[in-house]
């Protein structure tokens, strides 16, 4: 009996969970991702606030599935799908739109943040979905402290050390908390000319409370625990 071929697009939490779930299945599993590493996204905020390094939350995909004999990893980007012929088209480093047949297809490509029609905001307000995003935010945060330290006018310090986070879901709340720890920890002891105690962290959301998707008692606990 011929073995089925399962193609999984995306090696995030969902894609890896699907791959592992099929480890004993009579099937060949092909896992495709644009990156050669898996990022544990729930900890991206820690990289963005200099609490962790990128290497601490990223693991090579091949290392994760190396013991799964029926799993193969392909580095590439899926550029198209033909449902009629059951093929995906993969573009890699040296090949373009290579057809790859499948019997079953799992799309686990994740989601993107939205600017609600204002994509021009992106250059001022980066999202937090990838390691690159986290590193960019970390650099922006640290640069803000350096700029404040270099300013002769102390009245400018408060403006430079104002951080606005849009979205009071789990990531926004964690990010705000980590920023507060950063400000009151190493930043407070390492900078001399700027008053880091004046730093402001503003968490903005359309909902009337933080963590609006959680029970109200948890939202209240998060509100009470604010730094």
List the CATH number of the domain containing 70: 3.50.50.60
114 CB neighbour count, 10 Å cutoff: 9
List the CATH number of the domain containing 123: 3.50.50
Question: Alpha-carbon torsion 134, 194, 166, 176, what sign?
Answer: positive
One domain for residues 100 and 143 = no
The SS3 call for residue 169 is coil
One domain for residues 97 and 127 = no
CA distances, 128 to each of 41, 51, 58, 133, 201 (Å): 9, 15, 15, 5, 17
One domain for residues 22 and 53 = yes
Predicted confidence at residue 1, as pLDDT, reads 63
One domain for residues 23 and 101 = yes
| Tokens linked to 45 | 């905020």
List residues with catalytic annotation.
174
- Residue that finishes a domain, picked among 80, 107, 134: 107
| Tokens linked to 216 | 């109200």
> CA-based Rg of the chain, rounded to a whole angstrom?
22
One domain for residues 129 and 218 = yes
* DSSP for residue 186: I
Would residue 113 count as lying in a domain?
Answer: no
Mean pLDDT, the chain cut into blocks of 10 residues (227 residues total): 91 97 97 96 95 96 97 97 98 93 96 83 86 93 92 85 92 93 82 81 92 92 77
The phi and psi torsions of 75 (rounded to 5 degrees) equal -85, 115
One domain for residues 169 and 205 = yes
One domain for residues 102 and 126 = no
Domain that holds residue 156: 119-224
Predicted confidence at residue 113, as pLDDT, reads 80
The SS3 call for residue 101 is strand
One domain for residues 87 and 123 = no
Predicted confidence at residue 227, as pLDDT, reads 53
Spatial distance between the Cα atoms of 77 and 89, rounded to a whole number of angstroms: 8
Q: What is the distance, to the nearest Å, from the Cα of residue 85 to the centroid of all Cα atoms in its chain?
A: 34
Q: Are 90 and 76 in contact (CB under 8 A)?
A: yes
Number of domains, the chain:
2
Q: Are 56 and 99 in contact (CB under 8 A)?
A: no
């Amino acid at each position: 009996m011929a073995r089925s071929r399962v193609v999984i697009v995306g090696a995030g939490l969902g894609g890896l969970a699907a791959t592992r779930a099929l480890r004993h299945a009579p099937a060949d599993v092909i896992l495709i991702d644009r990156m050669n590493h898996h990022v544990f996204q729930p900890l991206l905020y820690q990289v963005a606030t200099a609490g962790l390094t990128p290497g601490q939350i990223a693991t090579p995909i091949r290392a994760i599935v190396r013991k799964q004999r029926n799993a193969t990893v392909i580095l590439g980007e899926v550029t198209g799908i033909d449902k009629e012929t059951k093929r995906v088209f993969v573009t890699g480093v040296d090949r373009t739109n290579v057809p790859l047949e499948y019997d079953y297809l799992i799309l686990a490509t994740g989601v993107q943040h939205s600017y609600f029609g204002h994509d021009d905001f992106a250059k001022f307000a980066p999202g937090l979905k990838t390691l690159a995003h986290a590193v960019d935010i970390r650099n922006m945060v640290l640069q803000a402290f350096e700029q404040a330290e270099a300013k002769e006018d102390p009245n400018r310090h408060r403006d430079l050390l104002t951080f606005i986070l849009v979205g009071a879901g789990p990531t926004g709340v964690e990010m705000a908390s980590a920023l507060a720890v950063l400000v009151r920890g190493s930043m407070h002891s390492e900078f001399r000319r700027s008053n880091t105690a004046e730093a402001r962290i503003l968490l903005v959301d359309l909902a009337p409370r933080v963590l609006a998707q959680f029970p109200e008692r948890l939202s209240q606990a998060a509100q009470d625990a604010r730094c």
